[in-house]
Structure 1
Amino acid sequence: MSNTQKKPLLSFWQIWNISFGFLGVQIGYSLQNANTSRILSAIGADVHHLSYFWLAAPLAGLFVQPIVGLSSDKTWTRLGRRIPFILGGAIVSALAMFFMPNSEHFAQLFPAVFFGAMMLLFMDVSFNVTMQPFRALVSDMVDESQRNKGYSIQSFLINVGAVFGSLLPFLLTWWGIANEPEAGQKVAPTVIWSFYIGGAVLLASVLWTSFRTKEYPPEEYAKYNNLEEKENENPEKVSFFTLIKNVPNAMKQLAVTQFFSWFALFLMWVYTTQGIAQNIWGTTDATSNAFNEAGNWTGVIFAAYSVFAALFSLVITPLADKYGRRNVYVVSLILGGLGLLSMLFIKDKNLLFLPMIGVGIAWAAILALPYAILSSKLPAKQTGVYMGIFNATITIPQIAAGLLGGVLLSALGGTAINMVALAGVSMAVAGIAALLVIKE
């Protein structure tokens, strides 16, 4: 075996530069989360069919992330091994963000809804191509003694991006950009300009990371990670079915909770705009000013839960150390479920900040605690591939929610706010499942 050496210790700004591009990616992703249903509704999508369009995101994650992870593991170029994927994905993402809010202008080529759905698919695929290597880049570049700092900086940038992306249409309205479609158009200028700005920031921030971060060449990477050169060039092949057969019990236990929590999140992302538009603004007209106000407010409250998530993430570690990871996970999910369920009874838009406290707590726990519980149970040589397989526990419940969304909406009287309440029930079930199933 080669002689293992510690990686060079990096300055704060070197670590910052490694993850800075994630700021822009998260801005784009948050704009998509808060505005996809709004855009598709404006260009003619039926609310009963919205969940089908949202299938693009989990399907992209299910297939793209493992493929990109495996490919970037084997890629060595002058730019590095992760940077080519990060940069390529960012370029496609920015282009898709330009075209999606302008889908109606391509109606002579394709129906507007079809073109919008295609741009959504391109965005989701390219976001996943860009996101996946960012996680690995921190692990590649940062020494073990700085790993917590590396991921905490990345988490901070993700949350800042989420807040900015979610608030952008609201801020543009405040700055005087029209929030109603202009004559002959269907999508509000606030949304269109938000996507332009988001795409530009995404590309600029990724370019910053790409040109300010120099990845280790193969020889150095092997030296820092205790790899034989031949092992680094020709990694041992293991049957995928063997890996599935030997999935650690912790992953199976977490999968139950993951299903209900991500089922809930998907329903929340898809139906919140329509839900509060009906429940608070009293409209179902996707081209009305009231609906667009509801769309902006969805961005505001989504930004709020990102803020609450960022704050709660600061105390998760001491709470988990004192009370146990599982117990904190259980309480967090139940609080999130109660928050979503309470939206059914809220008629004042300002009171929607209250349920976002619970949603933010649940979101922070979902992003951190399953991985903390799982990481110590994985074989060291197969951590990466099992993390890729674990991503299926995120995507499969979203696919299920997408396929069942229209049916469930009809069963609940066609009222979108009932779907948000159903998301609350699912999140609470996730918390109960965590209590009953997960063993630490």
Structure 2
Amino acid sequence: MRVEKPRQSFAGLWNISFGFFGIQIGFALQNANMSRIFQSLGTRLDDLPALWVAAPLTGLLVQPIIGHLSDRTWLGRLGRRRPYFLGGAILAALALLLMPESPALWFAAGLLWVLDASLNISMEPFRAFVGDMLRKDQHSAGYAVQTAFIGMGAVLGSIFPWALEHLGVSNAAVAHGVPDTVKYAFWFGGAALFCSVLWTVLTTREYSPAEMAAFDGPAASEEGAAVRLLAARHPAAGLPWILAGALVVLAVAQFRLEKEVYLLGGLLAAYGLAQAVAILRARAGRASMLGHIVGDFAGMPVLMQRLAVAQFFSWSALFIMWINTTPIVAGAFYGAPDPKSAGYQEGASWVDVLFATYNGVAAVAALTLLPLLSARFGKARTHIFGLLCGAAGYASFFLVRDPAWLIASEVGIGIAWASILAMPYAILASSLPQAKLGIYMGLFNVFVVVPQLLVATVMGSIMNRFFPGEPIWTMAFASGTLLLAAAAMLRVAALSRD
């Protein structure tokens, strides 16, 4: 007989998700300042997407692996998710401490790989941790609290350089380096990230494997499903992916696209090869981590598949924003595209305020607006509303002339951000098998990562060909992709029960 999980108090919800507060400080500092750091170290605007490719690529590789491993980990008193929180937090804190001291562009780019991999190691198990610790009727509340912490952490991380400037810290760029405002913000962020994750580690106790079996029933029937699914397939199933990768590589050479697009072709071919290898091993009766991951990816529930399409378009828009907002605001609104100019630094600091605004709106919306709308109209329709608000926010960049009014644009973006962080996970959490929650959450984040890779590899080619030197047009792409995400959610709403 199954036993119901204990109901968590507000303090319990707080402790479960507080570590995300620090993780998001790290992400916010990265998102708002890495273009600034790269340009301060001498990179050209056209090369920014290639440097940013580190972030989504590490997420693509790390999250499914960490999800698979955390489902199968149990380290005594540390549990199964918390070892990954803590290890990732230590590595991310060190990367944040070293980043502003980067002596050269290659060093900063390498640290971005380390930072993003470490943040993903900490972040991915947190998604599953909510499902582990909460009853199904508390999933929405749990992800809302997590989203609120994400918003609050992002506000603090985004606004800290701007606040330091107003406290008298120098915001002037130095030769081959970053301003003191950015340097001190990264150091603070490293300390805050480690301390907040440590809080969750010390204040929560994970349910043991025996307790989880009592709550959710035995997981044996789920364990071999992925391998059986693979064994029933032909090894040639990976061939279309390999051919697609080869076609992308040929297109790069034929049409002289940006060299970063080679990465996209390589990833497609690599997945096809991985699929063929996993099928051959499954047919031979040899289960492996690769087989489980590939099999679970191929066997995703239908609801998850439909929701993945909306995630793909949603995160395309977000990554466009993170890469391009600083050069857009500095160039189009402050008339200062030169990273060494005072006007550019002023515009970059205003971007910190804008990012803090949308994250602050997200924190408030997650605890107030979204629960109200989802209770009345359902989670899927609430998410459609949020995505439309974001599309309007991006489109308004073409209507605003005074940079101060971009605050209004960020309100719509903030509502969309809150919905993107909360609604898809709330929809999924109650429908996924508990024993595979980590791997499914990791695989779902593939559809967060792949669009970022596409933006990082393809957007530079599009901009150079059609809008050279005018990054503001990327906001039109961002608005359009959120409209496509809203359209994709209509299919989710047709299948979802709420």
Q: With the length of structure 1 as denominator, give the TM-score of the two structures.
A: 0.89
Counterpart CA distance in 2 for 1:368 and 1:19 is 13
Counterpart CA distance in 1 for 2:377 and 2:133 is 33
Aligned AA (1:423): A
Range 267-276 or range 302-311, more displaced: 302-311
In the TM superposition, what is the alpha-carbon distance from 1:200 to its structure 2 partner?
Answer: 0.7
Q: Give the equivalent residue in structure 1 for 2:164.
A: 172
User: Does residue 1:208 correspond to 2:208, yes or no?
Assistant: no
Q: Give the equivalent residue in structure 1 for 2:143.
A: 151
Q: Give the equivalent residue in structure 2 for 1:305.
A: 358
Q: Give the equivalent residue in structure 1 for 2:329.
A: 276
Q: Give the equivalent residue in structure 1 for 2:274.
A: none
* Cα contact 1:259–1:397 (8 A) shared by 2: yes
Counterpart CA distance in 1 for 2:415 and 2:398 is 19
Q: CA RMSD in A?
A: 2.5
Q: 1:147 to 1:306 in 2, by over 3 A?
A: same
Of the three residues 460, 478, 481, the one matched with 1:406 is 460
Range 39-48 or range 60-69, more displaced: 60-69
Moved over 6 A (4+): none
Q: For residues 166-224 of structure 1, give each alpha carbon's deviation from its aligned partner in whole angstroms, at most 9, with x where no partner exists.
A: 11111111111101124x45201000000000001111112222223233343334334
Aligned AA (2:105): V
* Cα contact 1:309–1:360 (8 A) shared by 2: yes
* Cα contact 1:250–1:439 (8 A) shared by 2: no
Q: 1:143 to 1:21 in 2, by over 3 A?
A: same
Q: Secondary structure at the match of 2:102?
A: helix
State the percentage of identical aligned residues: 41
Counterpart CA distance in 1 for 2:15 and 2:384 is 35
* Cα contact 2:128–2:441 (8 A) shared by 1: no
Q: Secondary structure at the match of 2:480?
A: helix
* Cα contact 2:136–2:430 (8 A) shared by 1: no
Range 127-136 or range 254-263, more displaced: 254-263
* Cα contact 2:86–2:201 (8 A) shared by 1: yes
User: Does residue 1:227 correspond to 2:282, yes or no?
Assistant: no
Counterpart CA distance in 2 for 1:253 and 1:147 is 20
Counterpart CA distance in 2 for 1:249 and 1:138 is 22
Q: Which runs of 5+ in 1 are unaligned?
A: 105-111
Q: Secondary structure at the match of 1:439?
A: helix
In the TM superposition, what is the alpha-carbon distance from 1:377 to its structure 2 partner?
Answer: 5.4
Q: 1:258 to 1:125 in 2, by over 3 A?
A: same
Q: Secondary structure at the match of 1:94?
A: helix
Q: 1:317 to 1:213 in 2, by over 3 A?
A: closer
Q: 1:17 to 1:369 in 2, by over 3 A?
A: closer
Q: Give the equivalent residue in structure 2 for 1:108.
A: none
In the TM superposition, what is the alpha-carbon distance from 1:70 to its structure 2 partner?
Answer: 1.4
Q: Give the equivalent residue in structure 2 for 1:86.
A: 85
Counterpart CA distance in 2 for 1:301 and 1:421 is 18
Q: Which runs of 5+ in 2 are unaligned?
A: 228-291
In the TM superposition, what is the alpha-carbon distance from 1:328 to its structure 2 partner?
Answer: 3.3
Count of matched residue positions in the alignment of Structure 1 and Structure 2: 427
In the TM superposition, what is the alpha-carbon distance from 1:81 to its structure 2 partner?
Answer: 1.6
Counterpart CA distance in 2 for 1:325 and 1:148 is 9
User: Does residue 1:128 correspond to 2:120, yes or no?
Assistant: yes
Counterpart CA distance in 1 for 2:19 and 2:472 is 35
User: Does residue 1:329 correspond to 2:368, yes or no?
Assistant: no
* Cα contact 1:277–1:291 (8 A) shared by 2: yes
Q: 1:28 to 1:318 in 2, by over 3 A?
A: same
Q: Give the equivalent residue in structure 1 for 2:36.
A: 38
Aligned AA (1:409): M
Q: 1:49 to 1:223 in 2, by over 3 A?
A: same
Q: With the length of structure 2 as denominator, give the TM-score of the two structures.
A: 0.79
